Structure 1
Amino acid sequence: MAGSGPVAASDAGVAGSPRGRGRSVVFLGAAALLTVIMLGHTWIPEAGGLGVALDIAAPWLGALVPVLAVTAVLCRCPAGAVAMLAPLLAWAYLFGSWWAPGPAVRPGPAATQLRVVSQNLFAANASPGASARALVAAEADVLAVQELGGTNREAVVRVLDDTYAYRTEVGTVGLWSRYPISDTTPVDVGVDWHRGLRTHIATPAGDLVVYVVHLPSIRPGAITARDHGLTLLSRELAADDAEHIVVAGDFNTATTDRRWAGFAPGFRDVHSGAAFTWPASFPIARLDHILVRGMGAANTSVLSIPGPDHRAISAEVQPDRMR
């Protein structure tokens, strides 16, 4: 009996003891909660920006799995470590393919390929000329820009006009093209000034309609304007009867955002996987998108351009590859 005290104390943290069972409950609960958040983040109520924040964070929640598993092992809780298989499998199901190499895509005829690049220039860009020169080096046939204005406009226009024969602007969005532009009109994206345009480009493959858009920003507790802008733009795109359409810009909407799945039926986001664009220094979300309808796309990529707070996105669109 004299030795029963030390034995009981040493067993206090192992499985089967009250403390061990308590730890198992904690880790099992954490695994269940993490799994539910991953699978159902879009169903969590939007309260003060919490819902959208979880939508953006969803692909990164998998980083918590090894942390919790190692913690469970260090706490001598094997059940807790095994329980982490549930959120790991949920993450793999939802996002595992994002980091896998994409399928090889055979490009179409060179004469029909159009390289489209989109870049938010950043209104407070300290080196707009360098940004413009880097965009020229991307060799786009169609270049869409947002936050064009203020101190960056003159330098950007001067550089890009030396390379591109055609330019159109509406408010703070602009488009440069190697091919003739016509019939540019403003597009309402839910703000008090123009941050969207629709135009026609006479490409070697025929007429192409291009939208350049910059949706309202989102902040904690302030997503109503962005949501309204998405609704307006989705309606306009759905009603557009053009055969070949490209939509490029800063949507301020992550791929995992609850409002993205139902946006613009019939259009396809050409980028997939972990093609994150924001913030430029360490991207954690893709807020910038290129959408297409009536055409295919290949060779999609994300470009690091000096100066902006977003990375650029690029894709080769092919109007002859009907979808």
Structure 2
Amino acid sequence: MSALSPQRALRRIVTAAVVFLALVVTVALAFHRSVPNVAGFGSVLDTAAPLLLLAVPVLILGAVLARTKVAAVAALVPLLVWGLMFGRAWLPKSADQGATQLRVASQNVNAANPDPAATADAVVATDADVVALVEVADGLREPTADAMAAHYAHHVRVSTVELWSRYPILDYAPVDTALGWERALRAVVDTPEGELTVYAVHLGSARPGVTATRDRSLRALADAVAADPARRLVVLGDLNTAITDRVMAPLRDLVRDAQADAGRGPGATWPASLPVIRPDQIFYRGLTATMSTVVRTPETDHRAVVAGFHFG
């Protein structure tokens, strides 16, 4: 029995590697929610799951080098699974959503921002009627306010979270998100179409292996929204996780996602230079989302998120 030529042996090795990697990626995509959330690992995997698409070009390159049908088929399986799970975000949205009657925006200003006025000017340029700004540290308040106040007559603040509005803010109060200090607020805005309840929030930070604070603050926010009797409601801010994260489920069961309903693609916002995930969210209920987009803003590490709504 003749030995395999070196070239043929290499092709077999590459084929086996492609099949193995394709299997790992496919299983990770299909069953990431089944991985135990020990030390926040499952949560991190949930958040990163859409990024597994980046493995597909590597697999395709391997299949080209292997030049075997088995490798070619294996390379396409993760792409198919990814498309079934996340591809709908790229599909065109319904055209019968109504005219935009109110625009909202959210921006993480970044506590280390060297020019917060430039960031605020870019947010103003989105023409949003209601704006949530988070991570507005002490030294950023005055320049931010100078830029915003010329366009928004109404303003409230709780700690480093601010809400700016063209329309009167009838009432507001801090929201306890179990951080030990206040970093969220609930306000009632008197829009021309009726009252709208707005949550401006900045949830606890999360790092690989350290997500307990974020998870606790997310549950507290979900509890507040669940108990809120408001018919029309939006949640704006930096939630420090993506909608694919399992810990988002208690809140996602109560609201809709403007990006999923009226945007195109995942709407990634962080890091601003090359965004790969979307921790900045616009959720809603009692309204119809008419548009959703992401805007590059200067001097901050997050892009802004903008959404439009119809009150009908």
Decide: shared fold, TM above 0.5.
Answer: yes
Change (3 A) 1:26 1:192: same
Aligned partner of 1:244 in structure 2 is: 232
Q: What are the within-5 Å matches in structure 2 for residues 187-206 of structure 1?
A: 187-206=175-194
Aligned partner of 1:166 in structure 2 is: 154
Q: What are the within-5 Å matches in structure 2 for residues 56-135 of structure 1?
A: 56-108=47-99, 113-135=101-123
Q: What are the within-5 Å matches in structure 2 for residues 36-51 of structure 1?
A: 36-51=27-42
Letter in 2 for 1:75: A
Residue 49 of structure 1 and its aligned partner are, at CA, apart by 4.2
Change (3 A) 1:234 1:78: same
Change (3 A) 1:156 1:292: same
**Aligned 8 A contact 2:97 2:288 in 1:** no
Residue 168 of structure 1 and its aligned partner are, at CA, apart by 0.6
Structure of greater Rg: 1
CA RMSD of aligned residues (A): 2.0
Change (3 A) 1:129 1:22: closer
Letter in 2 for 1:82: V
Determine the C-alpha separation between the residues in 2 that align with 1:72 and 1:13.
Answer: 15
Determine the C-alpha separation between the residues in 2 that align with 1:261 and 1:76.
Answer: 43
1:8 aligns with 2:12: no
Aligned partner of 1:153 in structure 2 is: 141
Aligned partner of 2:213 in structure 1 is: 225
Determine the C-alpha separation between the residues in 2 that align with 1:9 and 1:317.
Answer: 65
Q: How many residues align?
A: 308
1:275 aligns with 2:275: no
Aligned partner of 2:289 in structure 1 is: 297
Letter in 1 for 2:35: I
Higher helix share: 2
Single out whichever of 278-287 and 255-264 deviates more from structure 2. Answer: 255-264
**Aligned 8 A contact 1:190 1:215 in 2:** no
**Aligned 8 A contact 1:125 1:308 in 2:** yes
Residue 71 of structure 1 and its aligned partner are, at CA, apart by 1.4
Residue 263 of structure 1 and its aligned partner are, at CA, apart by 2.0
Determine the C-alpha separation between the residues in 2 that align with 1:138 and 1:78.
Answer: 50
Aligned partner of 2:299 in structure 1 is: 307
Single out whichever of 253-262 and 31-40 deviates more from structure 2. Answer: 253-262
- What stretches of structure 1 of length at least 5 have no aligned partner? none
- What stretches of structure 2 of length at least 5 have no aligned partner? none
Secondary structure at 2:248 match in 1: coil
Secondary structure at 2:199 match in 1: strand
Residue 77 of structure 1 and its aligned partner are, at CA, apart by 4.2
Secondary structure at 2:246 match in 1: coil
Determine the C-alpha separation between the residues in 2 that align with 1:76 and 1:141.
Answer: 56
Residue 23 of structure 1 and its aligned partner are, at CA, apart by 5.1
Determine the C-alpha separation between the residues in 2 that align with 1:119 and 1:42.
Answer: 29
Secondary structure at 2:121 match in 1: helix
Residue 27 of structure 1 and its aligned partner are, at CA, apart by 3.0
1:285 aligns with 2:285: no
Determine the C-alpha separation between the residues in 2 that align with 1:129 and 1:263.
Answer: 32
**Aligned 8 A contact 2:18 2:62 in 1:** no
Residue 152 of structure 1 and its aligned partner are, at CA, apart by 1.0
**Aligned 8 A contact 1:132 1:156 in 2:** yes
Residue 65 of structure 1 and its aligned partner are, at CA, apart by 1.8
Percent of residue pairs bearing the same amino acid type? 44
**Aligned 8 A contact 2:236 2:282 in 1:** yes
Determine the C-alpha separation between the residues in 1 that align with 2:238 and 2:111.
Answer: 13
1:215 aligns with 2:207: no
Residue 106 of structure 1 and its aligned partner are, at CA, apart by 4.3
Q: Could you report, residue by residue, the CA deviation over 1:60-119 in whole angstroms, capped at 9, with x for unpaired residues? A: 2122123123213313443222222221210111122233443334433x6xx1110111
**Aligned 8 A contact 1:297 1:318 in 2:** yes
